[in-house]
Every structure is written in C-alpha cells, then in structure tokens.
Amino acid sequence: MGTTLLDPVVKKNYLEVCDRITAAAESAGRNPQQVQLVVVTKGHPVEAVLAALNAGASCLGENYTEEGIAKMQALSASGRPASPVSWHMIGHVQSRKAEEVVKHFDWLHSLDSLKLAHRLDRFAAEVGLRLPALLECNVSGEESKFGWLASRPETWDRLLPVIEEILGLKNLEVRGLMTMAPFLPSPEEARPFFQRLVRLRDWLANRFQ
C-alpha cells in the first residue's frame, strides 16, 4: 500500500490548509507551530488515509471506534505508517466503547459525561497510561448537541463539582475544552460560540489553578 491516485489532490488540499493555518496564526500573533491540525478521515477509505499520511499528516481523527480500528489494522498490515501517527477519537463515545477508545486511540476529543470519565479512567489504569481528553461543552444550547450544557454563564457554577471530580481521576489528562458550533452559512456567525468557549475555559482555569 504505497502511493495512491489520491496523493496529488490530498497533498494539494493539505498544504493549502496548512498555509491558511499559518496565516491565521500569524495574524492572531500566535506561533503556527503551536496549532495542531487533525485530519478527519471518517467515512474515507484507507487509500485516502494513506494519501493524507503521504502528504505529511500525523494526526488523524475518527468518529466511530470500529471504523478507526479497522483503518489502524489495515495500515499496520500494509507496513504503514513508518512515522508515528496520533489517532484522535472525535465523535460521541458510548460508555460501553470506553475500553476500545483507551486501547486504540491516543486522544479523546469528546468526553461528555462523568460515567464515561470513570470508565475511561478504569481502563486506562489497567493498561498503565494517561489518556489525554477534551471536555465537550454545549455552549450553543442546542438539544441535538452532546456535552455539558454551558450556554448560559450564570449556570457555569453547576459544572464545578463534576469537573473537579474528573480532574481528580489519575488516568485521565484533561487538556482543555471542545465544542460543536451550530452549522451556519458563514464562519463569522459561528465565532461567538467559540468565543463563549474561550470565556468558559478562562473562567474554569481561574477556579482550578
């Protein structure tokens, strides 16, 4: 499983996105090297994953455990990847899938319940690792979204006991927050939701120093 017909297209798109990230980071006064690009490969064949790796990607995101694991196994059987790849679980995870996430993925982007946190902690302890995770927060208030409800700042105090308990789990490493903004026609319309998430992050950071 080497070069594929997808390689030129995927590489062109990948490099364009990298250039846009660099430009945006520099415009915001940030170091582009501190921005991590996760290439979402859900729903794409292994050939597309290989093309992304050939383009230079090193972080891959999957929504479903079974699909992600199947791709990992296919790449391993092919002798790829030669360079390290970090696999990120970005979709909603049912608590019964916690063991598979711990065993196969390097990151979880969608920790959204105390029950899931305890199961992840338990399985991570069994294999002797700390799983990096992001806490999923619903800052839009949409009923269709997963995550802790955090659309109204006056209710943020309710999150403190749960987050304090999660931070106390020895085999989970909370790295930050995640949210899913509403699907809107313009990126600018989604900006306020991410700004609210930043305010929530800063608010929590002041309470868990």
Q: What is the DSSP string of the chain?
A: ----TTHHHHHHHHHHHHHHHHHHHHHTT--GGGPPPPEE-TTS-HHHHHHHHHHT--EEEES-HHHHHHHHHHHHHHT--SS--EEEE-S---GGGHHHHHHH-SEEEEE--HHHHHHHHHHHHHHT--EEEEEEEE-S--TT--SEE-SSGGGGGGGHHHHHHHHT-TTEEEEEEE------SSHHHHHHHHHHHHHHHHHHHHH--
Q: Domains in the chain, please, with CATH?
A: 1-90 (3.20.20.10), 97-209 (3.20.20.10)
CB 51 within 8 A of CB 72: no
Instruction: Give the pLDDT score at 79.
Output: 77
Instruction: Give the pLDDT score at 61.
Output: 97
Instruction: Give the pLDDT score at 163.
Output: 97
pTM over 0.85: yes
Kindly give the confidence (pLDDT) of every residue in the chain, 209 residues in length, as a single tens digit, with 9 standing for 90 and above: 455 678 899 999 999 999 999 999 999 999 999 999 999 999 999 999 999 999 999 999 999 999 999 999 999 888 776 678 999 999 999 999 999 999 999 999 999 999 999 999 999 999 999 999 999 999 999 999 999 999 999 999 999 999 999 999 999 999 999 999 998 888 899 999 999 999 999 999 999 97
Instruction: Give the pLDDT score at 169.
Output: 98
CA distance 186 to 46: 31
Instruction: Give the pLDDT score at 123.
Output: 98
CA distance 3 to 22: 27
Instruction: Give the pLDDT score at 2.
Output: 56
Instruction: Give the pLDDT score at 3.
Output: 59
CA distance 70 to 33: 30
β 148-149/131-138 pair status:
parallel
